[in-house]
Amino acid sequence: MSQPRIINIISNRNYESRRVFQILKSKLEKSGFVTPDEFSHKAELSICIGGDGAFLRAVHNNKFPQVPFIGINTGHLGFYQEISPEDIDRFIDDYINKRFETFEMSLVEAKVFTDKKNYFLNAVNEIVVRGQKSKVIHLDVFVDGNHLEKFSGDGIIISTPHGSTGYNFSAGGAIIHPRLSAVQINPIAPMSSRAYRSLPNPIVVPGNWTIGVHPEQRYKNGTTIVLDGTEMFYKDIIKINLRISSKKISRISFSSHTYWENLKTKFL
């Protein structure tokens, strides 16, 4: 007896997403697929319905699974969501006939050192280090072991190439093609005066280099770490080391031109 072909369907709770969920579930099951009620790590594919936020939540909530993802866009931007609801039939036909390609997405990792314990974190788009309650923060920033600057401002964004089109882009950062293994250091509202001298522009460095962020002593308990929009708080932070992670997730795509089409349609 052949093994069941399992496909996860993950949806946000808005009306349009729930409507598309029911249509998709019915069509997949008529095509011979099994759609479990809970996320299965034995699935061959995960379909996320919603916007980019729904995709990021699905990845984080399921611990960065090895199951490839594809998205159906019922949100606003939908940079990660390749399929339109009206194209579900074509998507299923293309998937059954293997007219797609699978590619890996690099993650950014952070190792947070505190006085008592170390924490390991991962994000798809970016990790942000900033002050609590929107206060100015002072950070010593190191790149590959070299002291770069004593940063003063709202914080810094460390983004992946895939994440470069998200918060990083909104904050004035550059778009980096996802085939490059790199991270971008983007300052948020850097201060530049006689008292404080911070670099005003982003820097792109190789992904295997470690970016060290050391909060000043008075900010050991005043630093917020934001993973793909989710805030994390740790006591007595000594330093944070960031770089491209060895862990990856996978997506499938039905067009080699999707990336450039997204840039044009979403931003121009």
Spell out the alpha helix ranges (H) of 5-123: 15-30, 52-61, 88-96
C-alpha to C-alpha distance for 109 and 233, rounded to whole angstroms: 16
Q: Under a CB-based contact definition with an 8 Å cutoff, are residues 21 and 9 in contact?
A: yes
The residue annotated as part of the active site, out of 37, 52, 94, 140, is 52
- Examine the residue annotation and report whether 52 is marked as an active-site residue of this protein: yes
Cα(222)–Cα(114) distance, rounded to whole angstroms? 13
Which of 3, 7, 16, 63 has its CA nearest to residue 37? 7
Place of tokens 């001298």: 197
Determine the straight-line distance between the first and last CA of the chain, rounded to whole angstroms. Answer: 51
Is the separation of the CB atoms in 128 and 225 below 8 Å? Answer: yes
Strands 5-11, 33-34: pairing kind: parallel
Instruction: Tell which residue, 175, 187, 188, 208, has the closest CA to residue 109.
Output: 208
Residues marked active site are found at 52
